[in-house]
Amino acid sequence: FIKLDEHCFGCVLCTNACPYDAIHIKKTLSEPIRENIPNINKKLCRACGACVNACKSGAIHLRSTGGEEMHSEIDEDKCIRCGYCFRSCPTDAIKYGEILPKTVKEGKTLCIDQDECIGCMTCTRICPSKGAIDVGKINKLPFIDPAYCARCEECMHACPTYAIDYVEREEAFESFNKIKTLEIASEIIDRDIHNISKGVTNIDNVIVKLLNDISADYHFEDFDYEKSMDIRDVPRGMEFSDVEIFTCTNCRSIVVNVTDFLNERLNAQLKKDLDVVKVLDLVEFFPPSLGIEVVDENCISCGLCVDVCPTESISLDGPNPILIDTDNSCVYCGLCAESCNFEAIKLKEEFFTNRNHEIFFIKRDLRGRRKGTVEINHHACQLCEVCVKNCPVDALSVEDGKVVVNHDDCISCRNCEGICPVNAARVSTIWQFL
């Protein structure tokens, strides 16, 4: 069996490490060590009474003698060492626990070596001075606040890795301030990210609603496409009217000028005075709304679409029509629509784009594979490889520190464009005709 000697200080590491729960510790708690009472600097005290109001035990009162100005004074018998007076003092006249014991010489104080600390939290459990030892939110290790520490040395004697020792006060405060600065910066960043996230979510919801509202007002059946212009024949720089219709080999498009509409509605919804340029920035990288539809009466369950689907999103249960998993795996590439000989699959996409400081809503009805060329902005790309890992046909790879596109394998599904966190991937042909 294992015999323990007087060097054991009850850190319970052995009990946690034993796989058979064979070690048990009988604990006898000693009388708590009372830390020093707060020290009031009479020269800094302005007798504002903040500490008097904050004291829960009535231990502080204002006093004035013939040779001194009015200042706060603490009754040692009534003081419970809670530290509320220290926190409330606006002139920093109260220092909590800074009356050093006689054993501490040359103005040194305790400090935890963050490199030696193993995070066992023994010091936090045995420290009698409330608020003297805190745990960092970033590195999850304890650190000592020199202003609260009573220098009782309990933590120093209990530390299993000897990570706690006396250091010069300047070094201790420098270490403490460095950790607290990181903590404060972390809290500010977390709060800002939360606020930004809420704002972005609100803007996204507004734009999605506006896109749906516009889409509901325009239907392909309402237009005569026999007299429409082919997208490939549109002259560069051509002036567009409020509503234009275009065709191409495998798609129909409705192009609507929504500059004034979006500007007015966004300002009303967000309660902000945005100019057209800012609205352009909002919609420039807004992801398109994609959809796919199976015309049940045209589908004969031939299975051709199942064979060409790169993500295995189509299931066949003949003689019933096919089922497409749009919730999880479909990337709306259009290969299934291209392979269908009976026009049983229709691919739809709706998005905003801009031209000459004007915003256009585009609604496309694709009856085949989407044509396009993926372009990577290497200056914006951060090489996170999220596009490479999520490409359904493995058309993306990293070579010589850059994301490279294999255009022979690429199916222009726009999956990389939608998931890129810095908008470094673009499918070029969607904007070419504008």
Domain 31-90 architecture: 2-Layer Sandwich (3.30)
Beta bridge partners, 395, equal none
Q: Are 364 and 342 in contact (CB under 8 A)?
A: no
- For 86, other C-beta atoms within 10 Å of its C-beta total 22
- Whether a cis peptide bond, with omega within 30° of 0, leads into 319 is yes
What H or E segment, with its residue span, contains residue 390?
helix 386-390
Domain segments of the chain as ranges:
31-90, 218-371, 372-434
Query: Among candidates 89, 91, 61, 58, which has minimal Cα distance to 73?
Result: 61
Backbone φ, ψ for residue 316 (5° rounding): -115, 130
Gap between the Cα atoms of 279 and 268, Å rounded: 13
Dig out the tokens for 57 from the structure.
Answer: 């035990």
**pTM for the complete prediction?**
0.47
List, run by run, the mean pLDDT of 10-residue segments along the chain (434 residues). Answer: 66 77 68 62 82 88 79 86 80 63 57 88 79 80 85 86 89 85 63 49 66 81 75 68 77 83 72 60 70 90 90 85 87 89 88 78 82 85 87 91 91 84 76 46
Alpha carbon 220 to its chain's center = 40
Q: Do domains 31-90 and 372-434 have the same CATH topology?
A: yes
Output DSSP code: residue 234: P
**Continuous segment of H or E residues that includes residue 419:** helix 415-419
The β-bridge partners of 168 are 108
> CA angle 361-367-371, nearest 5°?
70
Q: Quick one: DSSP state of residue 34?
A: P
Given this model, what pLDDT does residue 182 score?
A: 73
Assign domain 372-434 to a CATH class. alpha beta
Strands 425-427 and 374-376: antiparallel
Q: How far is CA 100 from CA 145, 151, 417, in A?
A: 14, 7, 63
> How confident is the model at residue 290, as a pLDDT?
84
Answer yes or no: are the C-beta atoms of 336 and 345 closer than 8 Å: yes
For 349-372, give the secondary structure using H, E and C.
EEEEEEECCEEEEEEEEECCCCCC
Pairing mode, strands 142-144 and 133-135: antiparallel
227 burial via Cβ count (<10 Å: 0-12, 13-18, 19+)? exposed
